[in-house]
Chains A and B, each alone.
Chain A
């Protein structure tokens, strides 16, 4: 589904590569977690895969297509849920979704039904006509997610979709993502919630300083790491306990 070959990114003026010679394969139907400390290169990698950032070198294909030659086809194929809420605060939830849905060419009743269906699943039906600037963080995250999946993408990229939300909202989001995955959507997501990733992802890759340190099925990674009881312990063993503050 996704094939990444020697992908690198070095920002202008930066001393180090944010992503360095990265190779990765994500198969269709997988839920692939990109895990790593702050500044590891997770968001940079997702930004390159969603055409938001130009790689310094290397290449990748999604469903056998690349952005240079099949830009619009790929944009229809993928969905993105960015870390920011990416919503118009003065528009209602419904208006936001209507606008972003129309950008994918979905119109009329099909669009309305799709929005209502997703709002229902996400427990937001009664807030459909409220402006999003009155929403809590969890509600905004759920609208943010719907905006990325209205066009039923084959591959969904999520950049920390559950950051800063309450447990209830997190459950609703994860349950919906599982449902989408069952329906055939391949999911690539980044998170700092290692407990969540352990149970949600079929595969994970731990990235540090732009390079993949270890990748595989979470249960296998735990088994392979001596004395590790969970993914968090594997993570700390592989990336160390030193703080990763950067500016």
Chain B
């Protein structure tokens, strides 16, 4: 413990950097959780149609509050600006889109009505072939796939809505005596309602803080692997480990002492991160973390996650021969475990094989346990399997470290 306290710079980095990470990540991700974003993405629009449909598209995009529409006169100019990375997206509306859509819809509606004998001129006429129109989208090649997909889906939905409205309008024109008299309701009949978990009859609404605090706290807890493994390597390099080996104290006791000290560090780190979530986040305009009634369970998860991280750190420190081996291996392991555990990308969107692999990542067990407590509002029994796995991981790594040390130094 004294060794840690004496290295004030190291302690500061150990506590401050994870807090900084948590604040930055939550600030960055906060907008994705907000229904109304403060940020508007500039979108280039080339309107070759200049009709009702393009007007509708512009209106819908503007109403979404996510985009800032910038009109461009030529497709080539828009393409160049997007492909050079100046803009993320350009939408090119083709010439005569409104007229063609209207013609196509009218043609279809007339066809349907003639089947029912409602059309005055029921004589068969040769149908004009109306070529399919395409709205072209240009994306910056550096744009992430998730962004591309969500924009494509949004535009697809918008176009479908415009088409549907046109069909309704065409029927109204054909059937209604008065165009202004509504026959059809054009609003969607089927609506979606998200049912949220409740606590004391109050809905628990997840926010960026509720997601980020557990994920990045766990990430920070696991980063204890790096200083811990380096600490063991330092002991070997400065000769103190040799002296310890000649004392009657067993290697298990040495590891036990280090476990207690570093577990205390993990819990202090966890407390600081919770305090940031509870008090600092609301002060800087971020949603705060609600821990009411959850603290004992949260500390339980933090404790077992800390143990798992410490076990891995002690194992790396035992097996590695140099700091150059331990530090990059430890840091990369944390990043890999975080990726597998679902800290960055949710496990359910991973490929099947990776979903299976993620199930054997201790960070996944910790994260699921944190989510269970933070967001799913479950009881102790539900998190028991996850914390048991974390404990098992700790015991396994410690046993391997002790056996390795015994074999390496057996007399």
Q: Which residues of A contact B (CB under 8 A)?
A: 48, 50-55, 67-68, 71-72, 75-76, 78, 80, 82, 84-91, 95, 100, 103-105, 131, 147-148
Could you say which of A48, A51, A54, A87 contacts B245, with CB atoms under 8 Å apart?
A51
A118 to B265 Cα, complex, angstroms:
35
Kindly state whether residue B409 has any CB partner on chain A within 8 Å: yes
A75 to B250 Cα, complex, angstroms:
11
Query: Is the Cβ of A104 less than 8 Å from the Cβ of B248?
Result: yes
Kindly state whether residue B246 has any CB partner on chain A within 8 Å: yes
How many inter-chain residue pairs (CB < 8 Å) link A and B?
66
Kindly state whether residue B271 has any CB partner on chain A within 8 Å: no
Known: A91-B3, A91-B6. A78 touches B411 (CB 8 A): no
A230 to B247 Cα, complex, angstroms:
38
The segment out of B59-67, B191-199, B234-242 that lies at the interface is: B234-242
Number of interface residues of B (CB under 8 A): 18
Kindly state whether residue B187 has any CB partner on chain A within 8 Å: no
* Chain A, Cβ-Cβ closest to B242: A82
Could you say which of A78, A80, A90 contacts B6, with CB atoms under 8 Å apart?
A90
Distance to closest chain B CB from A160 (angstroms): 13
Query: Is the Cβ of B411 less than 8 Å from the Cβ of A54?
Result: yes
**12 A-B pairs with C-beta separation under 8 A:** A52-B245, A75-B247, A75-B248, A76-B248, A85-B238, A87-B238, A90-B3, A90-B6, A90-B7, A95-B2, A105-B248, A148-B243
Per DSSP, are chain A's interface residues mostly helix, strand or loop, or mixed?
loop
A51 to B3 Cα, complex, angstroms:
27
Kindly state whether residue B249 has any CB partner on chain A within 8 Å: yes
* Chain A, Cβ-Cβ closest to B235: A88
Could you say which of B243, B245, B411 contacts A100, with CB atoms under 8 Å apart?
B243
Kindly state whether residue B410 has any CB partner on chain A within 8 Å: yes
Query: Is the Cβ of A80 less than 8 Å from the Cβ of B7?
Result: no
A89 to B234 Cα, complex, angstroms:
11
Distance to closest chain B CB from A163 (angstroms): 14
* Chain A, Cβ-Cβ closest to B410: A54
Q: Which residues on the A side are within 8 Å of B244 (C-beta)?
A: 103
Contact with A along B241-264 (1 / 0, CB 8 A): 011111111000000000000000
A103 to B245 Cα, complex, angstroms:
10
* Chain A, Cβ-Cβ closest to B245: A52
* Chain A, Cβ-Cβ closest to B249: A103
Query: Is the Cβ of A88 less than 8 Å from the Cβ of B248?
Result: no
* Chain B, Cβ-Cβ closest to A84: B239
Query: Is the Cβ of A88 less than 8 Å from the Cβ of B246?
Result: no
Q: Which residues on the A side are within 8 Å of B2 (C-beta)?
A: 90-91, 95
Q: Which of B240, B242, B245 is the most central at the interface, judged by chain A CB atoms within 10 Å of its CB?
A: B240
Could you say which of B240, B246, B248, B410 contacts A50, with CB atoms under 8 Å apart?
B246
Q: Which residues on the B side are within 8 Å of A53 (C-beta)?
A: 411
Query: Is the Cβ of A86 less than 8 Å from the Cβ of B410?
Result: no
